[in-house]
Amino acid sequence: MKLLTVNVGRPKTVDYTDAPGGATGIDKQPADGPVRVADPGPKGTGGSGLAGDAVCDLRHHGGSDQAVYAFAREELDVWERELGRPLANGTFGENLTTSGLDVSGARIGERWRIGPDLVLEVTSSRIPCRTFAGHVDEKRWVKRFTQAAAPGAYLRVIEPGEIRSGDPVEIVHRPDHDVTVELDFLASTTRRELLPKLLAARDALHPETLRAALKHVEKEAADD
């Protein structure tokens, strides 16, 4: 398992985002050298965990629990065949393009060591949005990406460090529950009845997902 590229984006003004100021950092390109990764701080004020990487809409992106976004090269290859066009590393707005790692099959709370120092923890799935659809520029993109249910993973920073393209990736902790990124995605989008199953991952969940799961359980109890 290894990190193929570390990808960062600069602010770019586009007509397909509703972010304040009309800019997005989704157009990410592989970095030439090492990139420092650290906890960016709470959502709403903290942006990306990667130095030099822009997050332009702090309402919905960035912060400690969405500090880093990873996507598997294997899934990009699937979409290349589906879309009939090449997709470079970073095309889906991912900070980390990986090889040999089942990103969407990772468990919430799973920890990865990348390079000598950085340790990340899986928190949640990526939910497709208008900006992502506009960037990819494919018809019915949000629906198609949702149906594929291979969303890639957001991660929080447990131990900061520098990483670079080619660094090894090691799974250093795997929880004993079965709450995967894919299950998180399904429960958060098309299969809301699955939300209670996410509670097996409890405190490792993204706080917003945890609140949604608890609210769903409370509503079910009230309806009984």
- pLDDT (tens digit per residue) in 80-114: 999 999 999 999 999 999 999 999 999 999 999 99
Rounded CA separation 171/114 (Å): 9
DSSP label at residue 65:
G
Per-residue pLDDT, 222: 87
What per-residue confidence (pLDDT) applies to 223? 82
Contacts of 71 (CB under 8 A, 6+ apart): 92, 94, 96, 97, 98, 103, 126, 152
Helix (H/G/I), strand (E/B), else coil: 12: strand
Supply the pLDDT for residue 25.
Answer: 94
Residue 20 has pLDDT above 90, yes or no: no
What are 108-150's pLDDT values in tens digits? 999 999 999 999 999 999 999 999 999 999 999 999 999 999 9
What are the residues facing 171 on neighbouring strands? 112
pLDDT in tens, 32-71: 999 999 999 999 999 999 999 999 989 989 999 999 999 9
**DSSP states of 54-120:** ----TTTS-SGGGSEEEEEHHHHHHHHHHHTS---TTTTS-SEEEES--STTPBTT-EEEETTTEEE
Which helix (H) or strand (E) element contains residue 72? strand 68-72
Q: What is the pLDDT of residues 188-224, one digit of tens each?
A: 999 999 999 999 999 999 999 999 999 999 988 888 7
